[in-house]
Chain A
Amino acid sequence: AQKITQTQPGMFVQEKEAVTLDCTYDTSDQSYGLFWYKQPSSGEMIFLIYQGSYDEQNATEGRYSLNFQKARKSANLVISASQLGDSAMYFCAMREGLGNAGNMLTFGGGTRLMVKP
Chain B
Amino acid sequence: NAGVTQTPKFRILKIGQSMTLQCTQDMNHNYMYWYRQDPGMGLKLIYYSVGAGITDKGEVPNGYNVSRSTTEDFPLRLELAAPSQTSVYFCATGSHTTYEQYFGPGTRLTVT
**Which A positions have Cβ atoms within 8 angstroms of B?**
4, 33, 35, 43-45, 47, 50, 52, 91, 93, 95, 99-100, 102-110
Contact = CB atoms under 8 A, between A and B. Distances in A.
Given A44-B103, A104-B48, A110 B42 contact: yes
B41 A99 contact: no
Contacts of B45: 104-106
A50 B105 contact: no
B100 A105 contact: no
A45 B103 contact: yes
29 contacts: A33-B99, A35-B99, A35-B100, A43-B88, A43-B105, A44-B103, A44-B105, A44-B106, A45-B90, A45-B103, A47-B100, A47-B102, A50-B99, A50-B100, A91-B42, A93-B42, A99-B96, A102-B48, A103-B31, A103-B94, A103-B99, A103-B101, A104-B48, A105-B33, A107-B35, A107-B43, A108-B42, A109-B41, A110-B41
A107 B42 contact: yes
The 10 closest A-B pairs by CB, nearest first: A107-B42, A45-B103, A107-B43, A102-B50, A109-B42, A33-B99, A103-B94, A102-B48, A99-B96, A108-B42
A4 B87 CA distance: 21
A95 B95 CA distance: 13
Contacts of B88: 43
Contacts of B42: 4, 91, 93, 107-110
Interface in B45-75: 45, 48, 50, 56, 58-59
Contacts of A104: 33, 45, 48, 58
B77 interface: no
A91 B43 contact: yes
Interface centre among A47, A102, A109 (most CB of B within 10 A): A102
B56 A102 contact: yes
A110 B46 CA distance: 19
B31 A102 contact: yes
